[in-house]
Every structure is written in structure tokens, then in C-alpha cells.
Chains A and B, each alone.
Chain A
Amino acid sequence: MPSVSQTIRLKILFFGRLKEIVGHAEESLEFPDAATIEQLFDHFAARSPELARFRPSLVASCNQEFAAWNTPLHSGDEVAFLPPVSGG
């Protein structure tokens, strides 16, 4: 984890089965500055262990754009963990 003690405020969204596991669609969280999306996911997986097994079948988004797991986060970012999409 980064050595800076600053924190950032993030909005995290859950959809589909992830929403059912976590129990809600959205939350707001203080998190260490410059943490990555992967570290954010690990935070939730530690809290809801069932999430971890879905990790290989998820993609992440940051501010409504698909994002790599190593994307560093900034205050105000909206992050979502997206299960395989099944629209249509």
C-alpha cells in the first residue's frame, strides 16, 4: 500500500449477483490515496469472502469506462465491478 496517509472518497457500485452478495447497490468509502482498483476489490472481498470467487469473471470500470485492475484511484472516482454482461 502507498505510504501516504491521505485518503480519498470513492463511490462504488455493485450490479447483478455482486449486488446480491454485498447486499446493496452503492456505497461511499474513504480509501488510501493512489490505491488501485485491485486493492479496492480486495477490500470488499475481505469483507464479503464470496466475492473473491467471482474475481476472474469480473471487469472493472472507473467513471463509466472499462478500466484495468491496476488503475490508480483518485478522489471522486466512481468504481464498479461488472459481472459478465447479458443484455439483449
Chain B
Amino acid sequence: MSTPVHGDLYKLVRDPIDLVALARHVRAPEDGALVTFDGFVRNQSHNRPTLYLDYEAYESMALAKMREIGAQLHEKYRIHRVAIVHRLGHLEIGETSVFIAVSAPHRAAAFDACRFAIDTLKRTVPIWKKEYFEDGAVWADGELPPAPAATSRAKPAS
């Protein structure tokens, strides 16, 4: 369903995300706008000081869903390139957990696409974070992805 688009980048990583390198990757001479979203670890959750976060993912499905988001962006908006990178594992306060960069000939499409990408990622990509506090840890409240209510699946034997 997601046709690969030249130059797009979708990754799950365990090391710090190089924001500048990704922005540079997405930027091209035919563009006039680059919009980025840098999601990073907040030092508190519901007024409790956070020590650190731990992210895990259903990696194969998460990557597939990130590519689907990219394909949707190209269908919906006049944009050029997309990069979506999410970090997994142990993250300290202030470290980037997700970075999205969208380039486009004109700014409106880049803003709209970047907003759509992070909102959709937070609803549909199977990634989970556990928040660690002085007195324990909890899995963060998340969003329930929209799933088909019922199916009359007839899959050919594989």
C-alpha cells in the first residue's frame, strides 16, 4: 500500500537522533520550506518528576505504519520528502524520542503534513513508553488505535 518514494526515510533507532542530518537529508534545491517536529522527553508527567523513559515497539509493524503515514502524506499534501525517526530504549530528560521532517515547495503543505504525521503516529504506530519516577514506573496512558470492528476475512492460504 505504501509506495516507496525516493528520498524518504523511516527508521527506528537506539542511538541519539541527529536532527541536523535528517533535516539536511530532506531538504532539496527544488523545495522552499522545511518543517520539523522534535518530540523530546519532558521532565514531569502529571506534575510528578520523571527520571527517564523506556520505549519499546512492535518493530516490524511500527515501521510499516510509519511508511503508511509517509504514503498518506504524499497523497494528501504537495510535499517533497519525509523523514520519520523514532528512538527506542532508555531515554533521558530532554532527549529526542521522535523527529519528523517534511520538505515542500511551499510552507503550508509542509506545516500541515508534519502536524498530520505526528498526530497519526501517536494514534496508530505500535510504540509504548514506560515512565520511571522516584517511587516506581508506569506504562504511559496511550491512545487506542482505530481497528476494524469485524471482518469477513478470506485470506488465501500462504
Which A positions have Cβ atoms within 8 angstroms of B?
A: 13, 15-17, 57, 59-61, 64-72, 74, 76, 80, 82-88
Instruction: For the complex formed, measure the closest distance between the CB of B122 and the CB atoms of chain A, giving whole angstroms.
Output: 4
Task: Judge whether A86 and B153 touch: CB under 8 Å.
Answer: no
Inter-chain CA distance A1–B139, complex, in Å, is 35
Instruction: For the complex formed, measure the closest distance between the CB of A53 and the CB atoms of chain B, giving whole angstroms.
Output: 14
User: Which residue of B has the minimal Cβ distance to A56?
Assistant: B144
Task: Judge whether A86 and B157 touch: CB under 8 Å.
Answer: no
Inter-chain CA distance A70–B97, complex, in Å, is 35
22 examples of A-B residue contacts, CB within 8 angstroms = A15-B56, A16-B56, A17-B139, A64-B58, A64-B60, A67-B148, A68-B147, A68-B149, A68-B151, A74-B155, A74-B158, A83-B128, A85-B123, A85-B125, A85-B128, A85-B145, A86-B122, A86-B140, A86-B141, A87-B62, A87-B97, A88-B118
Known contacts A84-B141, A87-B126, then 14 further A-B pairs from the complex at CB < 8 Å, ordered by chain A residue:
A15-B56, A15-B58, A64-B60, A68-B153, A72-B153, A83-B142, A84-B145, A85-B122, A85-B126, A85-B145, A87-B62, A87-B98, A87-B125, A87-B128
Of the candidates B39, B60, B157, the one whose C-beta lies within 8 Å of that of A88 is B39
Task: Judge whether B142 and A71 touch: CB under 8 Å.
Answer: no
Inter-chain CA distance A84–B143, complex, in Å, is 5
Task: Judge whether B148 and A82 touch: CB under 8 Å.
Answer: no
Given the complex, which residues of B lie within 8 Å of A67, measured CB to CB?
147-148, 151, 153
Cβ of B71 < 8 Å from any Cβ of A?
A: no
Task: Judge whether B143 and A66 touch: CB under 8 Å.
Answer: no
Task: Judge whether B143 and A70 touch: CB under 8 Å.
Answer: no
Task: Judge whether B128 and A88 touch: CB under 8 Å.
Answer: no
Given the complex, which residues of A lie within 8 Å of B121, measured CB to CB?
87-88
Task: Judge whether A60 and B143 touch: CB under 8 Å.
Answer: no
Instruction: For the complex formed, measure the closest distance between the CB of A48 and the CB atoms of chain B, giving whole angstroms.
Output: 17
Cβ of B81 < 8 Å from any Cβ of A?
A: no
Task: Judge whether B148 and A68 touch: CB under 8 Å.
Answer: yes
Instruction: For the complex formed, measure the closest distance between the CB of B53 and the CB atoms of chain A, giving whole angstroms.
Output: 10
Inter-chain CA distance A70–B152, complex, in Å, is 8
